[in-house]
């Protein structure tokens, strides 16, 4: 789906796949977000521009 969305927005050559040279900000969770969207709240890692992002202080 990400690939199709990127192509529809005219960004197919920039993002939409985990491919060397393309832009991506992947995230890692402890649960499967396809089985339960609440698992997106169980973040373990978010990578932004190739660097691990940290949560802002509350």
pLDDT (tens digit, 9 = 90+) per residue, 4-27?
A: 998 999 998 898 888 888 888 888
Q: What is the mean pLDDT of residues 26-50?
A: 90
In sequence order, which ranges of the chain are alpha helices (DSSP H)?
Answer: 2-8
Of the pLDDT bands very low, low, confident and very high (cuts 50, 70, 90), residue 32 is very high
Distance CA 28, CA 44 (A): 5
Percent of the chain exceeding pLDDT 70 equals 93
Given a cut of 60, whether residue 57 has pLDDT beyond it is no
pLDDT value, residue 1: 62
């Amino acid at each position: 789906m990400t690939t199709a969305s990127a192509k529809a927005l005219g960004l197919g050559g920039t993002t939409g796949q985990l491919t060397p040279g393309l832009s991506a900000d992947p995230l890692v969770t402890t649960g499967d977000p396809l089985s339960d969207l609440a698992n997106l709240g169980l973040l373990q890692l978010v990578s932004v521009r190739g660097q691990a992002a940290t949560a802002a202080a509350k």
